[in-house]
A and B are shown apart, each in its own frame.
Chain A
Amino acid sequence: MRPPIRVLPQEVASQIAAGEVVERPASVVKELVENALDAGATQVSVEVVEGGRRLIRVADDGCGIPEDEVELAFQRHATSKIADTFDLEAIGTLGFRGEALPSIAAVAQVTMVTRTQDAATGTYLRLAPASGGKVARERRACSSGTSVAVSDLFHHVPARLKFLRSPTTENGHIAHLVTQFVFAYPQVRFTLKVDGRTLIQSSGSGDLREAVAAAYQWEVAQSLLAIEKDPRQEDSRLPSGVVVSGLVSPPALSRGGRSYMSFFVNGRWVQSRMLSYALEEAYQGFLLSGKHPIAILLIGLPHREVDVNVHPTKAEVRFVHEREVFGAVNGAARRTLAILAPVPQMTRVAAPVPSGEGLPLALGSGEGVLVSPVISPPSSSLPVLRVLGQVANTYIIAEGPQGMYLIDQHTAHERVLYHKLRTQLAGRGVERQGLLEPLTVEVTSRQEELLQVHGELLFQYGFEVDHFGGRNYLVRSVPALLSVKGDTAQVLQRFLDELADEKEPGDWAQKVAISLACHTAVRAGDTLTLSEMRALVQDLEATDQPRTCPHGRPTMIYLSQSQLEREFGRR
């Protein structure tokens, strides 16, 4: 017999709802600290015992809750943070759902002590789910602010209790979380105590670098690079109004995991693959594979441009103009790396290549500072360049009508190959060169999966690969552009590896083209003859975006005639 449909009892419903918000002790800490911050606290202390199972206490010096509203705070969908649906469209506070306290109270014993600034005495309230709600309430003397203690978490929810990890793991999650708050609110003094030991103690000075020093090491904080302002920000704001600030690691500093990349959207810590990708993409070519940057990126944008009401714990957000955000983050990191990364000393000389019409940007700004070239309009063509020679087997020196150009042979060739591949694909398909004797390539299981999923795409790009048994594949043809260079098997392997690492969805056809261009282009360190350099520069002139490689790195830097004259004191 089927049991009849009925409305669930209140406790069951609230336990289910609580499950979405309170997943593990760290979620409790998150909700409580957010409340503290929304209350305008300047000091927040977090205390955890036994991984949060025994006790979580969050105390702040915020505005407190008036005596007559204390009970209300524990009612579902009760909040002071928003009033109507209009507010929902532009949420400025961390919380707004009115679910945190009731959810916590549904799965744990909660004790709250709170006092507003102007009240003479505070309120003490004790709730326990086992006894169906309020256990005790009295007036009590206390300092202004709110202190919430949560004990016996999940005591009555055995299913949850079972899935809690060891206290060490849970402590790790909590510490990671508090670290993020330290970064997002450097003006707030945070203390994290775990089993009586102080793990994190931030100064609350408002300086992000100090906050980083409190959470990571001092050396790390010192060597991080501050995000450079967008040069375009001044005159023309991005349409979506995205402002990116924060700190990123120089190429020499990296970590083996992605957990050192923190993103904050309007002060809210978010986890977003899109943002991670935007950042890591900028590091392309700077870091070895498997290495990830350290970053604390604060992304500011108008509240209406971002929807935080996507996820119960608000860890995910949705951007109205996702591409602009991507571009802003990527551009910010790129710019910072280009300017600040301690790479070859180009102290005062180089200026960006003039983009399109008009004069180079840096000319106006007096002393030429190496500013990464602005993405140029598609039609911008290069002046006719005369190749003079090669520096360090990496850069081609060329002379143009108005000065000197230094061209990075690898990125330039990448752009040329990418252009050719795309043109060929758009035309009659990529030209393939048959192999006299099929080449046997043994692939890893990840590479194999890629071959199966994207085999058709690889074929379009000129790789005809047949299964040969086991993990062995036969390569029957290669892209004609590749046939000039020898190491086919290795290029294919590296190329598959790179694609296998690619987790972000997106335009695979473009990814394949970029990767192929990258792996077949001449490398830094390859000696080129004068005629090879000439051919490369000519080919580069023929591409539609000669100033950047498909990854977005500059292909050239420009030193104008007038800058040269200034440097030599002729003017």
Chain B
Amino acid sequence: MRVSCLQENLSKGLGVVGRAVAGKTTLPMINNVLLSIDQSRLKLSATNLEIAITCWIGAKVEEEGAIAIPARLLSEFVNSLPNERIDMNLSPRQRVLGLRCARFEARINGMDAEDFPPIPMIDEASIISLDPVGLRSAITQVVFAAATDDTRPVLTGVHFRLEGNQATLATADGFRLAIRKLSLATPVAEKMEVIIPARSLSELNRLLGDETEPVQLAISAAKNQVLFRLKNVVMVSQLIQGTFPNYNQLVPQSYQSRAVVTVSDFQRASRTASIFARDGSGIIRIQVTPGGELSPGRMAISARAEEYGDNTGEIDATVDGEGAKIAFNSTYLMDVLGVIDEEEVALETTSPSSPGVLRPVGSESYLHVVMPMFVQW
């Protein structure tokens, strides 16, 4: 193998696939990154067996070949090089990769490319095209509500449903539920449902960065892998097998009280309250008071720490229906407020012990359900 490329490109490419390199593993091979030549481009691949990322970078190829090189060593070395051309040279039947850049030279011992785990290939016949900006925001809005423990594996994933011209992403962890709808440019031929590990989607979000071209999505025939094709990157992830709970029945159909508040105000008041809530179980109490003839409605957000004291913050609210009292875990509240892009949000409640619903005002595409905490008022 003889190939040349720019240090900047190689460094970037290694950064992209590096996300999939296994950290600690008993399988030394997957600490490596696979370098190979694909249609006169340099192809970098890495996998931790759950996800695999492949990245292509422009290069001048003089001779084909492939080798697996320790990922961390290579990327640290390349990152420290000046931004100039790097010439790589691998003699046939040898496992030492020679690198030369400006006045630096290195030889890195690699492993046989044949031993590298195969990067899954998916027949990309039925490809669905997604808007990268929408996908990115959708992932951000749901991924935090996925469960982090493995008690119910399906809950550690994002339920991804494709039907008609709509994609629906949903996560739930037993205490909260996040649902985001995304419209598709072209309707899908058949309805599809998969559960993608939340971790994989977080990685995808990082890769999406400021991608502007549509993202291609394909699901393997065996329904066990999903592929995302970006401009120069392909990510393949294992899917979680199982049945996702029917979450639609968990969404309250009506409310007794609906308070519309400004997200930034709500966020500031919650953040203030969470300082006091930290000592308890992170409880934030919300009290909604409807407006009178002259006074506007209000929402009071308070917290108390048994031994230290308490605080209350008040914000304006447009209240529809009765007053309400409800307590939430501060983390859950801050999580959801942090991902709402709209200016205003509506909090819909029925009773202090039934789930509260948060909906951005002016958008039907997002919905978040949080189970309250039961406290003495």
Residues of A within 8 A of B (CB): 420, 423-424, 427-429, 431-437, 439, 464, 477, 480-481, 483, 485-490, 542
Given contacts A480-B283, A480-B329, contact A435 B376 (CB under 8 A): no
Q: Are A437 and B376 closer than 8 Å at their CB atoms?
A: no
- Closest CB of chain B to A442's CB: distance in Å? 15
- Report whether A434 and B151 are in contact in the complex, using a CB–CB cutoff of 8 Å: no
Q: What is the CB-to-nearest-CB distance from A553 to chain B, in angstroms, rounded to a whole number? A: 25
Known: A439-B174, A481-B281. 10 other contacts (CB 8 A): A427-B306, A429-B376, A432-B374, A433-B175, A433-B374, A436-B355, A437-B172, A477-B374, A480-B373, A486-B149
A486 touches B281 (CB 8 A): no
**Does B250 sit at the interface, judged by CB under 8 A?**
yes
In the complex, what's the smallest C-beta–C-beta distance from B369 to chain A, in angstroms?
A: 7
Q: A431-B280, A480-B329 are in contact. Are A436 and B369 (CB under 8 A)?
A: yes
Nearest opposing residue in chain A for B327, CB measure: A431
Q: Which residue of A lies closest to B155 (CB)?
A: A486
A430 CB, nearest partner CB in chain B, Å? 9
Subset of 25 A-B contacts with CB under 8 Å: A424-B280, A424-B281, A427-B306, A428-B376, A429-B375, A431-B375, A432-B373, A433-B329, A434-B355, A434-B371, A434-B373, A434-B374, A436-B172, A436-B174, A436-B371, A439-B174, A480-B281, A480-B283, A481-B281, A483-B329, A486-B147, A486-B148, A486-B149, A486-B150, A487-B149
**Residue contact B176 to A431, C-beta cutoff 8 Å:** no
Residues of A contacting B150 with CB < 8 Å? 486
Closest B residue by C-beta to A480? B281
Interface size on B, residues (CB 8 A): 29
Q: Is B177 an interface residue (CB 8 A)?
A: yes
For the complex, is B353 an interface residue (Cβ under 8 Å from A)? yes
Decide if B18 is an interface residue (CB 8 Å cutoff): no
B164 at the interface (CB under 8 A from A): no
Contact A435 B283 (CB under 8 A): no
Q: Can you list the 3 inter-chain pairs with the closest CB atoms, starting with the nearest?
A: A486-B149, A480-B281, A434-B371
B114 within 8 A of A: no
A157 and B136 CA atoms in complex are apart in Å by 90
In the assembled complex, the Cα of A485 lies from the Cα of B174 at a distance in Å of: 11
Q: Which residues of A contact B58 (CB under 8 A)?
A: none
Cβ of B293 within 8 Å of any chain A Cβ, yes or no, is: no
Name B328's closest neighbour in chain A (CB-CB).
Answer: A433
CA distance A542 to B307 in the complex (A): 10
Contact assessment for A436 and B176 in the assembled complex, using a CB-CB cutoff below 8 Å:
yes
CB distance from A539 to the nearest CB of B (A): 9
Q: What residues make up the interface of B, taking CB atoms closer than 8 Å to A?
A: 147-151, 172-177, 245, 250, 280-283, 306-307, 329, 353, 355, 369, 371-376
Chain B residues positioned under 8 Å from A464 (CB to CB): 374
Q: What distance in Å separates the Cβ of B128 from its nearest Cβ neighbour in chain A?
A: 29
Q: Tell me which residues across on chain B come within 8 A of A483, comparing CB atoms.
A: 175, 281, 329
* A427→B371 CA distance, assembly (Å): 23
**Residues of A with C-beta under 8 A to B307:** 542
Name which of B371, B372, B374 has the most chain A CB atoms within 10 A of its CB. B374
Task: Write out the residue numbers on chain A whose beta carbons fall within 8 Å of the beta carbon of B374.
Answer: 431-434, 464, 477
A431-B373 in contact (CB<8A):
yes
Q: Which residues of A contact B149 (CB under 8 A)?
A: 485-487
When the two chains form their complex, are residues B283 and A436 in contact, meaning their CB atoms are under 8 A apart? no
Q: Is B151 in contact with A436, judged by CB distance below 8 angstroms?
A: no
- Residues A435 and B174 in contact, CB atoms below 8 Å apart: yes
Beta-carbon nearest neighbor of B282 in chain A: A480
The interface centre, meaning the residue of A420, A427, A428, A483 with most chain B CB atoms within 10 A of its CB, is A483
Residues in chain A near residue B281, CB distance under 8 A: 420, 424, 431, 433, 480-481, 483
Residues of B within 8 A of A436 (CB): 172, 174-177, 250, 355, 369, 371
Given the known interface contacts A429-B376, A433-B329, the answer about A489 and B151 at a Cβ–Cβ threshold of 8 Å is yes
- Report the minimal beta-carbon distance from A494 to chain B, rounded to whole angstroms: 13
Which chain B residues border A433 with CB–CB below 8 Å?
175, 281, 329, 371, 373-374
Complex: how many Å from CA A240 to CA B141?
A: 66
Taking CB atoms, residues of chain A closer than 8 Å to B371 are 433-436
**Given the complex, which residues of A lie within 8 Å of B175, measured CB to CB?**
433-436, 483
**Given contact pairs A436-B371, A486-B147, A431 touches B355 in the complex (Cβ within 8 A):** no
| Complex: A490 Cα to B355 Cα, angstroms | 24
Contacts of B147 in A (CB 8 A): 486
- Verify A437–B174 contact, CB threshold 8 A: yes
Task: Give Cα distance in the complex from A485 to B329, angstroms.
Answer: 14
Considering the chains assembled together, what is the distance between the CA atoms of A436 and B283 in angstroms? 17
Closest B residue, CB atoms, query A432: B374
Q: In the bound complex, what is the Cα–Cα distance between A134 and B288 (angstroms)?
A: 96
- Give min CB distance, A463 to chain B, whole Å: 11
Q: In the assembly, what is the distance between CA of A490 and CA of B174, in Å?
A: 14
A488 CB contact (under 8 Å) in B148, B174, B306, B329: B174
Tell me which residues across on chain B come within 8 A of A542, comparing CB atoms.
Answer: 307
Tell me the complex Cα distance, A424–B372, Å: 18
- B306 contact set on A, CB distance < 8 A: 423-424, 427
Specify which chain B residues have a CB less than 8 angstroms from the CB of A435 in the assembled complex.
174-175, 371
Measured between beta carbons, the chain A residues less than 8 angstroms from B353 are: 434
Known: A436-B172, A486-B149, A489-B151. Contact between A431 and B283, CB under 8 A? yes
Q: Which residues of B contact A480 (CB under 8 A)?
A: 280-283, 329, 373
Instruction: Give A173 Cβ to nearest chain B Cβ, in Å.
Output: 48
Report the nearest A residue to B152, measured CB to CB.
Answer: A486
Residues of chain A lying within 8 A (CB to CB) of residue B369:
436
A416 to chain B, nearest CB (A): 11
Complex formed: what's the CA distance from A222 to B252 in Å? Answer: 67
CB neighbours (8 Å) of A420 from chain B are 281
**Complex Cα spacing A182 to B172, Å:** 64
Q: How many angstroms from the CA of A483 to the CA of B329 in the assembled complex?
A: 10
Q: Provide the residues of chain B in CB contact with A423, threshold 8 Å.
A: 306
Q: Which chain A residue has the least Cβ–Cβ distance from B375?
A: A431
B135 to chain A, nearest CB (A): 25
Instruction: Output the least CB separation between A129 and chain B (Å).
Output: 69
Complex CA distance for A412 and B292, rounded to whole angstroms: 51
Residue of A nearest to B151 (CB): A487
Contacts of B376 in A (CB 8 A): 428-429
Cα-based distance from A85 to B245 in the complex (angstroms):
75
**Alpha-carbon gap, A437 to B369, bound state (A):** 11
Contacts of B329 in A (CB 8 A): 433, 480, 483
